[in-house]
Amino acid sequence: MASPALPAYKTAFLQDCVSAGALKFGTFTLKSKRISPYFFNAGLFHTFDLSYSMSSAYAHTLAANGLDFDILFGPAYKGITLCATTGILLRTIDPKYSGKSYSFNRKEAKDHGEGGNIVGAPLAGKRVVIIDDVITAGTAIREAIEIIKREGGELVGIIVAFDRQEKTPSVTDDDGLPRPSAIGEVRKQYGIPVMAILTLDDIIEYMKATGTEDDLRRLNDYRTKYKASD
């Protein structure tokens, strides 16, 4: 039984993540060297079942936020399947999205045929939303933003699968000083909404109804220690 405080699509996605092992609880050492009580592995979403679940959750998140856009842009390589499958499911949720398109970039420009770096709808003069799995350091997202700018598109939002809501690491990570998250820095720099299917707050809410007291305590302690200032 999941928390009634969460929308049904978030609960369904969380249940699928836990069942498939894409969301685990325990003790995990992250690349940042932080010791996390949970681990979200987006790399497992290659099965048809999980791909459908994730794409459906992306589509519901976009529909719930009501963001007006023309093109869903998926940065190569992970974003390629995400922009296509999410677009299909978004159309089934609300017919108003039937006229929207998707695009993605090539890693290397094609010098024959249609040429260029963009596959799918041209970005020039269009309102564009970037879809990706996560934002860590923000480097990949900034590269995608530069592509959209170079192609003449207007970036109006970003959507990712998960927001850890934790501050960026520092040389002395336990300094206790407030810092923004990687997502918060992107929001501030570009002045656009950055949406996420799930956040750490969502996981904690879900675990209130489904998790052990120890897991819930460790999640709350981690959030308190590393919570971002944004």
Cβ atoms within 10 A of the Cβ of 129, count?
26
Of the residues 24, 96, 110, 225, only one is catalytic, namely 110
| 110 tagged catalytic | yes
- CA distance linking residue 180 with residue 153, whole number of Å: 27
- The backbone torsions φ and ψ at residue 202, rounded to the nearest 5 degrees and listed phi first, read -65, -45
Where on the phi/psi map is residue 74: left (φ > 0), alpha (ψ -120 to 50), or beta?
A: beta
DSSP secondary structure code for residue 177 in this structure: -
Where on the phi/psi map is residue 116: left (φ > 0), alpha (ψ -120 to 50), or beta?
A: left
Question: How is the chain split among helix, strand and coil, in percent rounded to 5?
Answer: 45, 25, 35
| 167 tagged catalytic | no
Reported as type and span, the H/E element at residue 160 is strand 154-163
- CA distance linking residue 230 with residue 182, whole number of Å: 10
- CA distance linking residue 130 with residue 53, whole number of Å: 19
Beta-carbon contacts of 225 under 8 Å, excluding residues fewer than 6 positions away, are 174
Establish whether the linkage from the previous residue to 58 is cis, with ω within 30° of 0: no
Of the residues 31, 33, 107, 112, only one is catalytic, namely 112
Residues annotated catalytic, as ranges? 110, 112
